[in-house]
Amino acid sequence: MAIPSALPALLRASHPGPTLAVTVLTALLAVAVGHGLRTGLVVTAAVAAGQLTIGWSNDVIDAGRDQQVGRTDKPVARGEVSEALVWRMIAAAGAACIVLSLACGLASAAVHLLLVVGSGWAYNLGLKGVVWSGLPYAVAFGALPAVITLALPVPQWPPVWMVAAGALLGVGAHLLNALPDLADDAQTGVRGLLLVASAVAAFGPLTRTAWVWAAFGLCVVLAVVAMRGRGRVPFAAAVGIAAVDVVSLVVHGSA
């Protein structure tokens, strides 16, 4: 199958939503912590390439099981794109990820390849089936700020609050995928976890501005809406909390 004709299916198989979200978050944090255009583009491209390998590998590894359960939203399982082509795209994206990561410096590359990309692959290769399946998300999202700050001209570790907020947000993002199917008590736990992430992102830094209180107040309101809402309302409110958390990370990263 030629790549041009397979592009739409390849795009859908890459899990474009999460891939784009993590890439945009990286770009925003890169600007916030002080990256120039060149280094910011390199670290963002490295993360984007890594996320593509994770998204594609998820679809191709699960292709057999997805066929058995009749998943209609999986291009590889539906035969819209061949597994061989997807593996070639994974190899190309993986090579680009390694080269771009190394261009960010050895420390940034090690964190990115081992903790961020490695966690994503570990999840795809089997950790998604264990009770602590949220751990790879916690490690990957918690390590992401370090990938960005260690790629600065003067490498530095991110503050602890940023790592903690990223880890909590990662677990919350993982659980959001399953939130509509969870029981009420489990759904409450997901929203509570996101609210904790909100508190860490808002009050972890030393700065205390009107924005901090407004952001956290909005998260509290959304949490109440999530707990009292019905249908898709709790999911939409939880997504809103996660979005506010991301904005808080970016705003405080530039402080």
Reported as a single tens digit per residue, the pLDDT across 175-223 is: 666 555 444 445 555 555 566 666 666 666 655 566 666 777 777 777 6
Is the pLDDT at 240 greater than 80? The verdict is: no
> Whole-number mean pLDDT of the chain?
81
More confident residue, 169 or 139: 139
Question: Span 24-31, mean pLDDT?
Answer: 92
Is the pLDDT at 239 greater than 80? The verdict is: no
Residue with tokens 């080269």: 99
More confident residue, 147 or 242: 147
Reported as a single tens digit per residue, the pLDDT across 59-73 is: 899 887 777 766 777
164 CB-contact burial (10 Å; exposed 0-12 / middle 13-18 / buried 19+):
middle
Domain 3-158, CATH number (from 1.10.1660.10, 3.40.50.300, 1.10.10.10, 1.10.357.140): 1.10.357.140
Measured distance between the N- and C-terminal CA atoms of the chain, rounded to whole angstroms: 49
Is the pLDDT at 237 greater than 80? The verdict is: no
CA distance 160 to 191: 22
Count of other CB atoms within 10 angstroms of residue 174:
21
CA distance 60 to 83: 6
**pTM strictly above 0.75:** yes
- 43-47, 117-121, 233-237: least confidently modelled range: 233-237
More confident residue, 243 or 160: 160
Is the pLDDT at 41 greater than 80? The verdict is: yes
Q: Which token pair is 141?
A: 């999202």
- pLDDT of res. 185: 45
Residue with tokens 């583009």: 41
pLDDT-based confidence at 21, cuts 50/70/90? confident
Neighbouring residues of 20: CB distance < 8 A, sequence distance ≥ 6: none
- pLDDT of res. 193: 57
Q: How far is CA 2 from the centre of its chain?
A: 30
User: Do 93 and 87 contact (CB within 8 A), yes or no?
Assistant: no
- φ, ψ of residue 188 in degrees (nearest 5): -60, -40
- pLDDT of res. 228: 64
- pLDDT of res. 148: 97
Residue with tokens 């903790």: 115
Strands (E), 1-128: none
Domain ranges for the chain: 3-158, 181-255
Calculated CA dihedral for residues 73, 78, 83, 89, nearest 10 degrees = -40
